[in-house]
Structure 1
Amino acid sequence: MKFPGQRKSQHYFPVTTPRTLLEQSAARTAHGQSYVVGIDQTLVDIEAHVDDAFLERYGLSKGHSVIITDETAEAVYKELKDNEMVVSEFAGGTIGNTLHNYSVLADDLSIMLGVMSRNIAIGSYAYRYLCNTSSRMNLNYLQPVDGPVGRCFTFISTDGERSFGINAGLMNRLSEDYIPKEVIQDSVALVITAYLVRCSDEDTIKTATFKALEYAKEAGVPVILTLGTRFVIEDDPKFWQEFIRDYVTVVAMNEEEGLALTGEKDPLLAANKTLDWADMVLCTAGPEGLYMAGYTDDKYKRLTAHPILNNEQFPEFNLYEFSRPMKRSACENPLRIHSHIAPYMGGPEKIKNTNGAGDGALSALLHDMAANGYHKLNVPHSEKHKSEFLTYSSFAQVCKYANRVSYEVLAQHSPRLSRGLPEKEDSLEEVYWAR
């Protein structure tokens, strides 16, 4: 487990005493393992250059998204491959992207639940999914299916217009029999997306998701919900408010999804309103930056050393952003905490990809939560664990980390990181906590 951010090298245990390999192995085995688990619709993003005749031939509407059948998807894919029209094939899916990036950042285990084609041909889209996924992601719990996983085709016309063909394949056929209770209840967090909850009743992945939620709730495992898109939320915001209240610990959203959920256009106010139902909120707001909101106990509040920020309804809203997040139920005197950070370096000089920036931010938050769980398992008597904190770092530090990861995703074509972040200098906050 890599810890978020760079910290000074210190020897906490004697390093001059010789230790055999057997002793070292036994010491590692004695320590617990910290990991996150997620459920996703297994999806591959396929991008290709085509002409208008191609779109007409397959009944695709230029500039729009169209649901296509399995037969059409297979025919389209065959023609694209036969004529070498495919530009790229990337593993996709909101949770898949998040878990991959988490494993790259943490250099540690994550587990994904979903479906995968039983028979995989070299060079196929299912093969590409596996190739574009971190080896640290455990895919052993995927359910084998006799058919294709989901495919999202992006067709780029000669004039640059983008059209989309979406085929679900068997990505929504996850059975509750492939939801391992022990895996979920021993995890640091369960990560899901709103798409899973609003699938049709015929899609078994919906039942499987609720089974996983019950397991997590029974064991007190934090549940992280990413809202996915405002169209899913604005259809029935009351449903989502009640769902979050009943099952969710952390909500990840952007400003549009926040508006759909709360009716608040200001992302800070939307994040604050979401705290009526959740314990912590991560809200990305495009060029405005990134917000976090949550709770801490009044006795654990910590003053910021950063410039004080003001909002018309929240003067000095970041005053205690050096505090660490807690569940509201764990606080004797809960205090709402807010934090904000502007885009790293003002944002990339050229944004190459907006798909996955929010997922990247969420992966940073998950890394910090897992680091907290790992540290608690291995150094249980540390001052870091004098109460039930949700993260290893403070609101401000998690904001900084999430912001940095979003920048890396925006600056590349793929929503999945190929490497971790470059080393960072110690922050003012790290010096603060080291005192």
Structure 2
Amino acid sequence: MHEIDVVGIGNAIVDVLCQADDAFLERHDLTKGAMMLVDAEQASRLYAAMPPGVEVSGGSAANTMAGIAALGGKGAFIGKVRDDQLGEVFAHDIRSIGLSFMTPPLLEGAPTGRCLIVVTPDAQRTMNTFLGAAIDLTAEDINPEVIRAAKITYLEGYLWDPEAAKAAFRKALDVAHAGGRKVALTLSDSFCVDRHRDEFRALVDQVDIVFANEAEILSLYQVATFDEALHAVRKAGTLAVLTRSEQGSVILDGDDVHVIGAERGVNVLDTTGAGDLYAAGFLAGLTSGKPLAQCGRMGAIAAAEAISHMGARPQVDLAALVAEKLG
């Protein structure tokens, strides 16, 4: 297989997005800005109550890979769908943007996963995820040839729950490092960190790059301030890429610290996918040899585009936008 920039491993799901007010969240006992796992019955009930919206292929790592493709990078995605209508939609969508997707679908069992996203007027997104077939990813789905071909393997923290998926991640990590390749991990959500704190700390020590927002990194190390979190993650010796919403981002590489400002003048409509697209911009820059500060700037530009519209996938020529902004 020819060399590729990034292979993403994560939940293959379809996003269902709608706009609603805070009262809707209260009626359905939803915590604003959080991600909750729901079962099939809960998903059906909430879906029936949601106002009209849009349905697009999603999933955190898949969104990142879509951003990398939009920036001209070469990529692949590994994730599990069912052989149903949504599974076919997901596969078509991700292949249509130039990504390799060869994971065989489930032939029986849970349907393709979906994430029900409620966006409130303040642009906060509240996610309710039915993982469905996504959690049936196994080590057998990890193609060593694809991992060895990728400069970076990107692991989605949302998927770190089923034992089979953990085994898949560990296999990918081992194959990548054995081949002299790098591995990146996104912590995904404070919900995930709270559930798997000790394991995530161990993973951060093993991977080469960690992506996290401020709440996630504070939760990981159970500290009260961002400076304390920086001190803690520095000890791990891992390249840390930490986003802070309107305060921009911080890139920590040993004793080197790069502070990247957020993009200004953005009309924020939906924060869904901001972190995913930041990671896309950063990884696209890193795999093309850009210095860390420029990688962070690319991440900030991609994130700003994502939050300017509904949905996490780019809606403009992202490569042209980045080129224009960077001058």
User: TM-score per shorter chain, which class?
Assistant: 0.7 to 0.9
1:302-317 matched pairs, under 5 angstroms: none
| 1:351 partner amino acid | V
Match of 1:211 in 2: 171
* 1:43-88 CA-partner distances (Å, limit 9, x unpaired): 112135799xx99xxxx834357755436656876x68xxx96411
Distance change >3 Å, CA 154–CA 229, structure 1 → 2 = closer
1:420 alignment partner, one of 310, 318, 325: 318
| Conserved 8 A contact 1:67-1:166 | yes
Greater share of residues in helix: 2
Q: Any idea what the Cα deviations from partners look like across 1:291-346, whole Å, max 9, x if unmatched?
A: 11114xxxxxxxxxxxxxxxxxxxxxxxxxxxxxxxxxxxxxxxx2111122122x
Is contact 2:124–2:270 with CA below 8 Å preserved after alignment? no
In 2, Cα distance between equivalents of 1:139 and 1:131: 9
User: Which of 126, 132, 137 is matched with 1:169 structurally?
Assistant: 132
Give the AA of the match of 1:340: V
- The count of aligned residue pairs is 314
Q: Distance in 1 between matches of 2:150 and 2:19?
A: 42
How much identity, in percent, do the aligned residues show? 21
SS in 1 for 2:256: strand
Q: TM-score, normalised by structure 1?
A: 0.64
In the other structure, the counterpart of 1:287 is: 246
Partner SS state of residue 276, structure 1: helix
SS of residue matched to 1:283 = strand
Distance in 2 between residues matched to 1:401 and 1:165, nearest whole Å? 29
Q: CA deviation at 1:267?
A: 3.6
Worse-matched range after superposition: 165-174 or 354-363 = 165-174
Give unpaired runs (5+ residues) of structure 1: 1-28, 296-335, 372-391, 428-435
- The corresponding residue for 1:17 is none
1:410 match: 307
- In structure 1, what is the Cα distance between the partners aligned to 2:133 and 2:226? 36
CA 1:282–1:162 in structure 2 vs 1: closer, same or farther (change >3 Å)?
A: closer
Shift of 1:366: 1.2
Q: Secondary structure at the match of 2:4?
A: coil
Map Cα deviations across residues 226-251 of structure 1 (whole Å, 9 max, x no partner).
Answer: 01112322455443322221x21001
Residue 293 of structure 2: aligned partner: 396
The correspondence for 2:259, drawn from 331, 340, 348, is 340
Query: 1: CA distance between counterparts of 2:238 and 2:200?
Result: 15
Corresponding residue number in structure 1 for 2:210: 251
The alpha-carbon deviation at position 223 of structure 1 amounts to: 0.7
User: By how many angstroms is 1:42 displaced?
Assistant: 1.1
Alignment of 1:66-81 (within 5 A): 68-70=38-40, 73=43
1:276: Cα distance to partner?
1.6
Superposed, 1:18-417 pairs within 5 Å as 33-48=3-18, 61-64=28-31, 68-70=38-40, 73=43, 86-106=52-72, 108-120=73-85, 125-130=86-91, 132-133=93-94, 134-146=96-108, 147-154=110-117, 165-197=128-160, 199-201=161-163, 204-235=164-195, 237-245=197-205, 247-267=206-226, 269-295=228-254, 336-345=255-264, 347-348=265-266, 350-371=267-288, 392-417=289-314
Q: Distance in 1 between matches of 2:299 and 2:81?
A: 30
Greater shift, 67-76 or 248-257, is seen at 67-76
Scaled by the length of structure 2, what TM-score is found?
A: 0.83
> Which is greater in Rg?
1
In structure 2, do the counterparts of structure 1 residues 73 and 277 end up closer, same or farther at CA, with 3 Å as the change threshold?
same
User: Cα gap change, 1:250/1:267 in structure 2, threshold over 3 Å: closer, same or farther?
Assistant: same
Question: What SS class does the counterpart of residue 204 from structure 2 fall into?
Answer: helix
Q: 1:138 to 1:162 in 2, by over 3 A?
A: closer
Q: What secondary structure is seen at the aligned counterpart in 1 of 2:11?
A: coil
Aligned residue type for 1:36: V
> Alpha carbons of 1:192 and 1:73: their partners in 2 closer, same or farther (altered >3 Å)?
same
CA contact 1:113–1:141 (8 Å) conserved in 2 = yes
Q: Does the Cα contact within 8 Å between 2:84 and 2:111 map onto a contact in 1?
A: no
Structure-1 separation of matches of 2:302 and 2:119: 28
Question: Per the alignment, do residues 250 and 161 of structure 1 end up closer, same or farther by CA in structure 2, a change over 3 Å counting?
Answer: closer
Mark the CA change 1:145 to 1:95 in structure 2 (over 3 Å): closer, same or farther: farther
Pair 162,344 (structure 1): closer, same or farther in 2 beyond 3 Å:
closer
Flag the 1:238–1:76 CA change in 2: closer, same or farther, 3 A.
closer
In 1, Cα distance between the equivalents of 2:212 and 2:131?
24
Change (3 A) 1:262 1:97: same
Q: C-alpha offsets along residues 334-381 of structure 1, whole Å, 9 cap, x if unaligned?
A: xx2111122122x51x2111121111111112112322xxxxxxxxxx
Which one-letter code corresponds to 2:324 in the other structure? K
CA distance in 2, matches of 1:161, 1:287: 13
Q: Specify whether residues 143 and 267 from structure 1 end up closer, same or farther in structure 2 by C-alpha distance, changes over 3 A only.
A: farther
Change (3 A) 1:337 1:131: same
SS in 2 for 1:35: strand
1:343 alignment partner, SS class? coil
Q: Which has the higher contact order (CA 8 A, sep 6+)?
A: 2
Tell me how far apart the structure 1 counterparts of residues 119 and 226 of structure 2 sit (CA, whole Å): 33
Task: Give 2:310's aligned amino acid.
Answer: H
CA contact (8 A) 1:271 1:282 kept: no
